[in-house]
């Protein structure tokens, strides 16, 4: 018995080693970016991989002020918050309707939404740009919020519909018997019960919106979001090389728990032209 327990512990330790290495590989880019962001220009050139010896926050101040990150940051926060809020609201309402209500054409609507998932963004970029321009929404945060909502809504609706379909229909019927109308059923019953799915959706959509460059670049051409700002920084010769690691720190802020953030961090930590 004791021998078996010892064997089990040993095998657990053996399994723990590759897992720890994997975990380190995810953490390392974050360490690399933060470590370099705190270095002076000289410190960075002399020892790119070593631990910072004379930490400074000047790089953050430069990025925040001179590279207009403060403005980009506000843009990103407002646009992401607006789009995610709108996405959660709409997808919860539509998901509830598609999952619980009986109306003609319900299946067709759901299939059409599913079909929309299969169209890559790149295919519709030109008509999308013309539509945004035609509506006078170019270079407006509202335009970008609506664009994100339009592009990410099909998946959000699909997820919420699938979640609400798993809830017992009797809950809706009980609420109707209790006198709740459509919006009251949604507000008092479906929305609180949909919290786990909404939380997941909120995280995913925040990542999509925060990390997006392509749609943002098209809609918000003059004002820029943080990601577009960082992408532009990488091609620019004006800011010092030290501005980019702080930039990648901003970039990582809302998405440090995701794999996409790891990808973002890796690319940010890659060598760039001084």
For residue 111, the minimal CB distance to another protein (Å) is 21
Residues that bind another protein (CB under 8 A): 168, 170-171, 173-180, 184, 188-189, 192-193
Q: Which is nearer to another protein, 119 or 174 (CB)?
A: 174
For residue 186, the minimal CB distance to another protein (Å) is 13
Q: Under 8 Å CB-to-CB from 161, ≥6 apart: which residues? A: 94, 95, 98, 99, 110
Query: Do residues 98 and 161 touch, judged by C-beta distance below 8 A?
Result: yes
For residue 110, the minimal CB distance to another protein (Å) is 20
The DSSP line for 80-146 is: HHHHHHHHHHHHHHHHHHHHH---TTHHHHHHHHHHHHTS-GGGGHHHHHHHHHHTT-TT-HHHHHH
Q: Which is nearer to another protein, 47 or 184 (CB)?
A: 184
For residue 175, the minimal CB distance to another protein (Å) is 7
Q: Which is nearer to another protein, 115 or 183 (CB)?
A: 183
For residue 91, the minimal CB distance to another protein (Å) is 19
∠ CA 122-124-129, nearest 5°, is 105
Backbone angles phi, psi at 198, to 5 degrees: -65, -35
Q: Which is nearer to another protein, 25 or 200 (CB)?
A: 200
Q: What is the Cα 76 distance to its own chain's centre?
A: 11
Q: Which is nearer to another protein, 175 or 231 (CB)?
A: 175
Q: Which two tokens stand for residue 33?
A: 């970016």
């Amino acid at each position: 018995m004791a021998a078996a327990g010892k064997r089990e512990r040993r095998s657990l330790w053996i399994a723990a080693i590759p897992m720890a290495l994997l975990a380190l590989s995810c953490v390392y880019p974050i360490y690399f970016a933060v470590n370099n962001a705190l270095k002076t220009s000289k410190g960075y050139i002399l020892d790119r991989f070593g631990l910072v010896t004379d930490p400074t926050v000047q790089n953050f101040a430069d990025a925040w002020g001179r590279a207009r990150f403060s403005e980009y940051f506000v843009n990103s926060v407002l646009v992401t918050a607006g789009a995610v809020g709108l996405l959660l609201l709409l997808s919860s309402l539509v998901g509830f309707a598609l999952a619980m209500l009986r109306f003609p054409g319900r299946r067709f609507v759901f299939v059409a939404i599913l079909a929309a998932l299969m169209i890559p963004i790149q295919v519709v970029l030109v008509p999308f740009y013309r539509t945004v321009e035609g509506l006078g929404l170019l270079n407006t945060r509202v335009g970008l919020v609506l664009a994100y909502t339009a592009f990410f809504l099909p998946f959000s609706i699909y997820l919420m519909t699938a979640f609400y379909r798993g809830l017992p229909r009797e809950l809706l019927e009980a609420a109707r018997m209790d006198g709740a109308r459509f919006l009251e059923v949604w507000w008092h019953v479906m929305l609180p019960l949909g919290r786990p799915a909404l939380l997941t959706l909120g995280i995913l959509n925040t990542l999509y919106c925060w990390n997006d460059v392509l749609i943002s670049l098209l809609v918000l051409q003059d004002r820029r979001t943080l990601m577009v700002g960082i992408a532009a920084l990488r091609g620019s010769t004006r800011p010092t090389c030290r501005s980019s690691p702080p930039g990648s720190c901003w970039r990582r802020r809302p998405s440090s728990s995701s794999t996409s953030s790891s990808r973002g961090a890796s690319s940010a930590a890659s060598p760039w032209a001084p």
